[in-house]
Structures are given as structure tokens and as C-alpha cells.
């Protein structure tokens, strides 16, 4: 079937049972598209996302438990695809430090396997890759200052606009290296082999269907722990700033790039909440106290390797090129995530005292 994007064949989402992948899959399934979820289900909680998709959409979703490290298996699964979204990854900096080899095999070699699978199939399917702001390194060269509950750059232009794609790449930690290598391979396959590829360098994405942990998905992790009445560990001083983006806005960006792939092929874009949704850990914790109606118990540990004091993405290139923009503010989005957790999250969260359903959740339901 040919959909609105002019793509003939099923949509393959590598890592499609994950947080962003399952939301992206839902959006295509709601449009009547067929979706292939390629996922080993190795991340705890994602099997619930796959079960949810299957219960809602039945035979229009197909699951392939193929590992990205299995080049031949991946080639077979992706051969019929009309488009490929590659979101599968080893996602934790801490895990990459413990086992750099495994991190490389999944993130760097696994991405090469995805690209080769599409090339072997005739380079017909566009490939859109989920990269990370970690490709810009720790930003240690920036002159930073603490203002209230935030670390911010002394440079007012950087503070107002964020980090642009023109900033030099500076891979840091094995995770940053492996994702950075993958990022560059995806872009080069457009130059060297004519694949239609694009890259989204993501900041902190959050929202429904996210089962956050201490190592990855910190917004959901904080909210889950608080709703369960459990303590939260802060690494560093809590003034770290990130530009958080609701998953609904992230899905819109991925889909817009697919719609405009012939114009954007070979380009990397930042994807984040930008200055309007820049917030510190302390500020998120304050909002969580308001949502839960109780204090949050905090523990403190030393800074972690590779942690940026501040990262805010300049999303101007994405906005100007394809017309994308953020639509959901971080406070509204955090309450939406809280409402989803109470309705559909872990049982220990659903049994916590209830909060009124957010207006956004009523709109999205």
C-alpha cells in the first residue's frame, strides 16, 4: 500500500517496541499502515509496549525478534520495507563504560548492518536514524555559570538559541563514540551509496510508554520513583539543564523527515525542546512535588562521567527546513506522563493516590 508519504511497503521500526518506537508505530498504524517491529525485547518493560500494539492493531503489526548484530537476519527482515526507522541501541553511558565492546557491536556495527541491509535490498527505503546530543561531547569548553537552580552558558547567544549542528563533533564516553560513529555512517551512506538517510540528534525525550531507569529516561524515572514514594538519586548538584521534548512532538519530527526525505537526505538535525523547554533537574523535581502532592526523598552521589552541565539544542535548522516545531510545554507534558503512569504504568504506580487526568491526556486518548 502507498501512504501519504508516498512510501510503498511496510514501515520497519528497528527498536519498535521501545518508548519512542512504540509511539511512532502507533502513529503509522492509526493511519492504516502496516508496521514491522524489529526488537529483541531485551529492555525491561518493552514487552508491554508490544503487547499493547498487538492488542490494538492485530495483524497489521508484525514482530521480528531479530538482533541488529545479526546482519543476515536483518537483511531478510528489512528487504520488503518501504521505510526504515532505526531506533535500536544500547542506550546507557554507564553500560558503555562497563562493556565498550558490546556497546560498539550494538550501536556502531548494528547501525552498519541496518544500512547494509537497505543497500543490499536496492537502497529503495529511506533510513531515519535516532542519534544523540552526546555526539557534541561534554561541552567542557563552554564558560558556565550557576544561576539559581540552573547551570547556564555565559555566552548569551548560546543561552538563547542552544547548541547548533555546526558545532564540531566531540565524542565522549564509549556510548558517545559508538552513537557518533553510527551517526556519521548514516550520513555517509547518502553520499557514498545514494541511500536516502537523515539523522535526528535527540535531547531528552519523555512521555507515555517510557519505562525510565536511573541510566536512561530520567524524566520518567524521576516521576515513577516519586509516585511510588521511593527516593531519587541525584548525581552532581541537580542544576544540570536539559531541553526536554514530549514524545508526541518527537514522533511528528520523525514523520516529517520521512515525508520530506528527498529534500533532507544526508542531513543531521537537532531534536529537542530547545530554549523554551530547557529545565534543570531541580526544576523538574519541584514540578513532580506539585504533581504528587508530597515531598520527594533525595540522595546525592558524585558526578558521572560524560555528564553535561547544560545541553539545550538549537532546533532552528529543523524548524526552518521542514516547518517542525514543539507544541507541548514541559509542565503540561510532565503531567500527561503522570496521568499515563497512573492509568497504564507499573502496578505499583497505578495503586498510588490518583491525580486528575490531564487535559493533554484527554485530547490524546
Q: Counting Cβ atoms within 10 Å, is residue 201 exposed (0-12), middle (13-18) or buried (19+)?
A: buried
Calpha distance 67→14 (Å, rounded)? 9
Catalytic residue among 175, 189, 206, 254: 175
Query: Which residues, in sequence order, are CB contacts of 95 under 8 Å at separation 6+?
Result: 102, 103, 175, 215
Query: Which residues, in sequence order, are CB contacts of 318 under 8 Å at separation 6+?
Result: 253, 269, 270, 271, 324
Report the candidate in 353, 350, 341, 88 with the shortest Cα–Cα distance to residue 208: 341
Query: Which residues, in sequence order, are CB contacts of 164 under 8 Å at separation 6+?
Result: 270, 314, 316, 317
DSSP SS3 for 284? helix
Q: Establish whether 136 is a catalytic residue.
A: no
Report the candidate in 328, 332, 335 with the shortest Cα–Cα distance to residue 293: 335
DSSP SS3 for 146? strand
Q: DSSP letters of 58-98?
A: GGGEEEE---TT-HHHHHHHHTT-SEEEE------HHHHHH
The catalytic residues are 175
Amino acid at each position: 500500500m502507498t501512504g501519504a508519504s508516498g512510501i510503498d511497503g511496510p514501515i520497519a521500526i528497528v527498536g519498535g517496541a521501545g518508548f519512542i518506537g512504540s509511539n511512532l508505530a502507533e502513529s503509522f498504524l492509526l493511519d492504516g499502515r502496516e508496521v514491522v517491529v524489529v526488537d529483541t525485547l531485551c529492555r525491561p518493560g518493552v514487552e508491554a509496549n508490544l503487547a499493547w500494539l498487538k492488542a490494538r492493531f492485530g495483524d497489521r503489526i508484525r514482530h521480528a525478534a531479530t538482533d541488529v548484530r545479526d546482519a543476515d537476519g536483518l537483511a531478510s527482515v528489512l528487504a520488503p520495507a518501504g521505510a526504515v526507522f532505526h531506533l535500536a541501541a544500547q542506550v546507557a553511558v554507564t553500560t558503555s563504560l562497563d562493556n565498550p565492546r558490546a556497546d560498539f557491536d550494538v550501536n556502531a556495527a548494528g547501525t552498519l548492518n541496518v544500512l547494509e541491509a537497505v543497500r543490499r535490498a536496492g537502497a529503495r527505503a529511506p533510513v531515519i536514524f535516532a542519534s544523540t546530543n552526546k555526539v557534541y561531547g561534554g561541552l567542557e569548553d563552554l564558560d558556565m555559570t550557576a544561576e539559581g537552580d540552573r547551570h547556564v552558558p555565559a555566552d548569551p547567544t548560546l543561552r538563547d538559541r542552544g547548541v547548533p549542528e555546526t558545532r564540531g563533533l566531540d565524542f565522549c564516553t564509549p556510548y558517545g563514540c559508538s552513537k557518533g560513529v553510527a551517526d556519521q555512517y548514516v550520513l555517509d551512506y547518502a553520499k557514498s551509496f545514494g541511500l536516502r538517510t537523515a539523522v535526528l540528534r535527540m535531547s531528552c525525550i519523555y512521555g507515555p510508554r517510557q519505562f525510565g531507569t536511573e541510566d536512561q529516561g530520567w524524566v520518567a524515572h524521576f516521576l515513577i520513583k516519586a509516585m511510588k514514594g521511593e527516593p531519587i538519586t541525584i548525581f552532581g548538584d541537580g542544576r544540570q539543564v536539559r531541553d526536554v521534548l514530549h514524545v508526541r512532538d518527537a514522533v511528528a519530527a520523525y514523520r516529517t523527515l520521512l515525508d520530506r526525505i528527498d529534500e533532507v537526505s544526508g542531513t543531521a538535525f537537532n531534536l529537542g525542546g530547545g530554549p523554551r523547554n530547557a529545565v534543570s533537574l531541580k526544576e523538574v523535581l519541584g514540578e513532580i512535588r506539585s504533581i504528587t502532592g508530597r515531598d520527594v526523598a533525595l540522595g546525592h552521589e558524585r558526578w558521572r562521567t560524560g555528564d553535561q552541565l547544560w545541553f539545550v539544542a538549537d532546533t532552528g535548522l529543523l524548524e526552518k527546513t521542514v516547518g517542525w516545531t514543539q507544541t507541548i510545554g514541559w509542565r503540561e507534558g510532565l503531567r500527561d506522563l503522570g496521568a499515563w503512569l497512573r492509568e497504564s504504568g507499573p502496578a505499583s504506580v497505578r495503586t498510588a493516590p490518583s491525580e486528575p487526568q490531564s487535559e493533554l491526556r484527554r485530547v490524546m486518548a
